[in-house]
Amino acid sequence: MGFSLIEVVIGLAIATVGIIGILELQKVFIQSGNETNARMLAMQLVREKLDDIKQLDSYGDINSGADNDPIIVQNISFTRQWEVTERYYNSGSEQWQEGIAGLGAVPNVADGKRALVTVQWTDLDAAVQQVAQSEIYSRISLHDSTTLTESLAESTGPQIPYTSAQSPENPSITLIDDTMTVVPIENVESKETSKPVPTVDAKNGNNLIQFETVVYDQETDTQSIEDFSTINCRCKFNGQASASAPTLLKIDDGKLSNDDDSGQLITKTTGTVSVSSQPFLCNKCCKDHHDTDGVNAKYVIGTSNNHSHYSTALSKVLSGDYLEACRFRRVNGFYELVPDWVLIDFIIMPQSFFLDASNVTAYTSYIKSAVRAYMTGIAISSLVKPNRDLSEVISGTQQLIARGLYVDIASLSTSDVNLIKSEISNSNPKWLEMVPFYEVNLTLFADWSSSDTAIATVTEEPINTIVDETLNYYGTYSRGRMTTLIDGDVMITSTIKTDNTGVTGSEAITPSVANLNDSITVKVKTSSAGENSILIPVNCLTLNNKGKSAACHAKDTKDITILVNPSNINCNYTPQSGNSTAFLNCSKVPDHWSGQISLSKAGYTFSSSETNFFSSKFNFGTGVNELDLNKATLTSVYLPVTMKDY
């Protein structure tokens, strides 16, 4: 039997409707993808401006403004403006407020300023869209980590998906146990640190380290942010007084949240700062970081009463001066003291490791396995780490990175810890959402060493962010940068302390602190004889509003023009990342090479105290006052360079 005309017409109508439906659905998908991408980019611009404000040297410099021109990103035009209003802190309500009602004595200068950053763009339907977020900045100091952030629920503007940092050093970890997943899971959450490297403020013996971890779910447009600061302080005992117990976490409906019943005031041993001019957080660190039998929660896990304190000679003391290190978490805008960091695993790798997607998968799977092993009492040492060894490495330099895995069960009650173990036993693939674990870049705080410095060296500069050009301090420093010299096998090892001082990179505060270490094997094989390398650290300085030299922001070291003539050598530039020094590395430099390498950027001058490198040719050869790269000891040339905008 054939088809009647009416059947054909009906069939065509159905097919036409189906095709139109598919096209319309495809249009919706495309528009949805574009809108999500635009929102992610807009949020990046918001956070960028909030971070810029945080880096200002003067409270008086925080003012309203707008970008002079639209910002074009991925062919999308964004406009950005920020509105600054004064805020006062009401000690009675423990809240920030806009006016002075109910304050009593009013300070001459407002306690803080609220910066509301708004980014707008036009979508595919010609409708104006916007995202906005605000932060409150305390006038006490922009750089003592007392900046107060409004919670996401109080921010103006729609909730938006978190924009992953997408850094090669910053893997995102899904909070799903893949070994338990048999069907697709909806609303999968991911976790990562929000910056490739933590922020470091290391001056006068105090190292203040800050970073954030973010849990985000782009399907439901939700996110939670944990902001941590860790600091080492010099304290002295101050007798019995009222002070805070640890602020804790709890599991609520399968998610982590702050335990509002924790952090209560109790009578116990207290301390105070022994040296003035320490960062503001040291006041609370010295006062509160003491344990007692009066509460179950402890700052130092496993403590029965008050944990021991030690002098600079690491002798136990019950009075006088002692060393301290504390971990803070931001709660309702304020940094509260929480139980100490506990490092359970440590792993090093080349910086390029995460450029390979298979390595990312192997690493994140290993991290989940390590957390599961720790929670279930299995030795982490029994797990096999992904292979990170290097072979066929030519002479030159490359950055190595160190990452640490922390699990904070000290912040959970015994019943919550047992709940996690039960969920693992019952094969709930979302059990990771209940575990306070943190995977952190520790490159700049770990110690580094080489088993044979004739084959390869690795940097381990002092942790210091002061600026003093006469002493070669530029606000940045280098750790973990490996320079390979001659053929051979070498072991590069990194070591770190497992307590709070591992995060601060400062001296030990107890003689019993444990260390974790990790190593990789590097097989150096120069491709041919007479190939050498040039390592050029680029230190950047600017002038602050007081006319004094200050360290540049990381973004200032980007977009540098580099010219090499002749171009028969390989040069790669790595801009500053956080407080890690920027580097230009040139490899495959032949013996007796004679040429020019120039660095330039509008508004900046470049110079070197080692040579008139930028005003004339820099020669490698055997003549008088020239470098002879035929000698093995000179196969790597180190030429520090300073760039200034004044």
Quote the tokens at residue 131. Answer: 């995202």
Helix (H, G, I), strand (E, B) or coil at 273: strand
- Please report the beta strands in 351-478, taking only residues with DSSP state E, as ranges in sequence order: 390-393, 396-407, 437-441, 447-450, 456-460, 467-468, 473-474
The continuous run of DSSP H or E covering 116 comes out as: strand 112-122
Query: Mean pLDDT across the stretch 418-445?
Result: 96
Domain ranges of the chain: 15-138, 183-337, 532-645
pLDDT above 50: residue 639: yes
Q: What is the pTM for the complete model shown? A: 0.71
Residue range 542-592, pLDDT digits in tens: 887 777 888 888 888 888 888 888 888 888 888 888 788 898 888 877 777
Q: Please state, in angstroms and rounded to a whole number, the distance separating the CA atoms of residues 477 and 468.
A: 13
Average pLDDT over residues 617-639: 42
pLDDT at 638: 67
Query: Which residue would you say has higher pLDDT here, 104 or 435?
Result: 435
Distance, CA of 474 to CA of 460 (rounded, Å): 16
Per-residue confidence band for 523, with pLDDT thresholds at 50, 70 and 90: very high
Instruction: Quickly state the pLDDT bin for 145 (edges 50, 70, 90).
Output: very low
Position 23 confidence tier, pLDDT thresholds 50, 70, 90 = very low
Higher pLDDT, 528 or 143: 528
For the stretch 53-85, pLDDT in tens is 876 767 778 899 999 889 987 778 999 999 999
Give the model's pLDDT for residue 472. 73
pLDDT of residue 507: 94
Per-residue pLDDT averaged across 436-459, rounded?
Answer: 95
pLDDT for position 38: 78
What are the tokens at 186?
């909806």
Model confidence at 205: pLDDT above 50: yes
Dihedrals φ, ψ of 465, to 5°?
-115, 15
Q: What is the pLDDT of residues 455-493, one digit of tens each?
A: 999 999 999 887 877 777 778 889 999 988 888 999 999
Task: Flag the least confident range among 300-304, 482-486, 494-498, 634-638.
Answer: 634-638
| Residue 624: strand, helix, or coil | coil
Average pLDDT over residues 409-431: 96
| Per-residue pLDDT at 318 exceeds 80 | yes
Is residue 640 pLDDT above 60, yes or no?
Answer: yes
Which of 226, 193, 224 minimizes the C-alpha distance to 335?
Answer: 226
Query: What is the average per-residue pLDDT within 224-241?
Result: 94
What pLDDT was estimated at residue 20?
A: 45
Contact (CB, 8 A) for 162 and 223:
yes
Please tell me the predicted confidence (pLDDT) of residue 157: 32
Distance CA 483, CA 578 (A): 21
Among 441, 456, 475, 461, smallest CA distance to 576 is for: 475
DSSP letter for each residue of 510-560: STT--EEEEEEEEEE--SSTTEEEEEEEEEEEEE-TTS-EEEPPGGGGSS-
The two three-digit tokens of residue 512, written as one number: 């019993």
Q: Which range, 269-283, 365-379, 465-479, 597-611, has the best average confidence (pLDDT)?
A: 365-379
Pick 345 or 638 by higher pLDDT.
345
- Render pLDDT for 115-142 as a digit per residue (tens, 0 to 9): 999 999 998 778 888 888 888 887 754 4
The pLDDT of residue 637 is 65
How much is the pLDDT for 12? 52
pLDDT at 259: 95
Distance CA 83, CA 159 (A): 19
Listed in sequence order, the DSSP H helices in 320-436 are 357-376, 414-425
| Rounded average pLDDT over 345-365 | 94
The C-alpha atoms of residue 527 and residue 396 are separated, in whole angstroms, by 12
- pLDDT, position 617: 37
What percent of the chain has pLDDT above 90?
42
| Residue among 102, 107, 121, 59 nearest 84 (CA) | 59
Task: Work out whether strand 531-543 and strand 561-565 pair parallel, antiparallel, or are unpaired.
Answer: unpaired
